[in-house]
Chain A
């Protein structure tokens, strides 16, 4: 499974990209999309909405289940990936390209794992 080195990871299986332009990008990991199965719908927050660490900001639907997506950071949603609304399958096909939201004014971040730590975390989950 692919866990890009430049990203950070949360225990609830979101990836986080910190970049220079002050916006933090959040998406679902490859492991998450595989566990969730083929996704058919995504609910996204509005631009301008406040998100906070550990709180649900979105949910994703498969045919027979719905799962919450949690925010690893606190801040304000500055952009949402509207293409997900029309093609939720892109999360399955390209989990690291299919970002959910960009957050600005981040004032809090949960303790995140790097790619190697996350890989062993996922292995533990799988063996449970």
Chain B
């Protein structure tokens, strides 16, 4: 029998008789006949593991894996050290539940404590939680942390990732916080508009660094404006970039959030990813989700435990700061292993290569007649180019050569280059783009 059921038919009979019934259906006597399903489920009959393997292989084969990825927009392909995959697959970590029983969960608890420390170090902030679902929901939770009865408007940069903006908006539909877009100017948040919008009704200002177009924002300036109006300042950040660019704390952020996927998680068609959140001490009590703290056991041994749980839904119910229960613990562990393996110099090297390769690629692209940078601000590892021909043609040529080109955005292409791409791959992509542009230019002329 399938279903991973160990008991034998004979054992089941014995168990039924010890319960005092003759069949399992008697155990279901509380379910009214009228709501019982009178037919088998219309799902194919169970199959062996071998057949499942075969069936899923044939589905998997319908996906196309691009050896070269030049697309980001919220999901980033970085090199993932082998050790990360092996450790994250350890059965104890994979199959454990939330560490409610601290005495037999010290491993997972210590890993979360270490994760919290690393997130605090990267962001420069005081406290971190044990993770939320992803970067977008982390941003939405951060906005919720800031709202107050007299401050029910949140200013969100138009240059943030559209998926993040939309998620913040959806959470706002629930909470009643009004989401106001800060307009963009030349690919960055318009600081004059921010100044105009920031008033005493605003609970927080959210900007993304680097922003959706890859541009590095004047984050510190945005923070000053936010604080000037008494609002909190939230930065959505890329964790790899934090190894070399100004930390959220250095820019005056009260809360830093972000998508942790670049820290050792594969693209996986969008998930599971990792939402990280860190905040200043003063906001600790408002931080949603689980938090691990250090303590001692009765023998005086150092130990770790889920702490400050009375903030959470299982105790505070409708008065809780958030409803979050399950989080992304295994992804947080993955990120910790990634950061431990890379170390400070490894992470800096990854970030430096992102910057250098992205700039190399953009410079070479812009040598092609008709290709221009859409915006001229300093960027990290993403940038927008205008092309002389339709992006579809360029992208399909790249696709034919196993390259996932940038994402079409607002009539331009948003490219992303990480350390995972080699110079050879970039040179190849440049040639393909050059040919696509040239052949079309040629055709137009003739």
Report which A residues bind B (CB closer than 8 A). 40-41, 59, 61-66
Contact = CB atoms under 8 A, between A and B. Distances in A.
Nearest to B314: A64
Interface string B301-319: 0000000111000011001
Q: Is the interface of A mostly helix, strand, loop or mixed?
A: loop
A63 B100 CA distance: 13
A119 B354 CA distance: 72
Interface of B: 285, 308-310, 315-316, 319
19 contacts: A40-B308, A40-B310, A41-B285, A41-B308, A41-B310, A59-B319, A61-B310, A62-B310, A63-B309, A63-B310, A64-B309, A64-B310, A64-B315, A65-B310, A65-B315, A66-B310, A66-B315, A66-B316, A66-B319
Contacts of A40: 308, 310
A61 B321 CA distance: 14
Contacts of B309: 63-64
Contacts of A62: 310
B308 to A, nearest CB: 8
A72 B66 CA distance: 68
Of A40, A41, A62, A63, most buried by chain B (CB within 10 Å of CB) is A63
Nearest to A68: B319
Given A61-B310, A66-B316, 4 more contacts: A41-B308, A64-B309, A64-B315, A66-B319
Contacts of B285: 41
Nearest to B315: A66
A22 B254 CA distance: 40
A65 B310 CA distance: 6
B288 to A, nearest CB: 16
A55 to B, nearest CB: 14
A74 B309 CA distance: 32
Contacts of B308: 40-41
Nearest to A61: B310
A64 B309 CA distance: 7
Contacts of A61: 310
A52 to B, nearest CB: 17
A66 B310 CA distance: 6
Nearest to A40: B310
Nearest to B320: A66
A2 B308 CA distance: 30
B151 to A, nearest CB: 14
B315 to A, nearest CB: 5
Nearest to B316: A66
Nearest to B285: A41
A59 B285 CA distance: 13
Contacts of A59: 319
Contacts of B316: 66
B410 to A, nearest CB: 46
A10 B308 CA distance: 29
Of B285, B309, B310, B315, most buried by chain A (CB within 10 Å of CB) is B310
A83 to B, nearest CB: 17
B291 to A, nearest CB: 13
A61 B308 CA distance: 9
The 5 closest A-B pairs by CB, nearest first: A61-B310, A66-B310, A66-B316, A66-B315, A65-B315
Nearest to A67: B310
A19 B310 CA distance: 34
Contacts of B310: 40-41, 61-66
Contacts of A66: 310, 315-316, 319
A63 B314 CA distance: 12
A64 B315 CA distance: 7
A36 to B, nearest CB: 11
A62 B309 CA distance: 9
A65 B308 CA distance: 10
A3 to B, nearest CB: 27
Contacts of A41: 285, 308, 310
Nearest to A41: B310
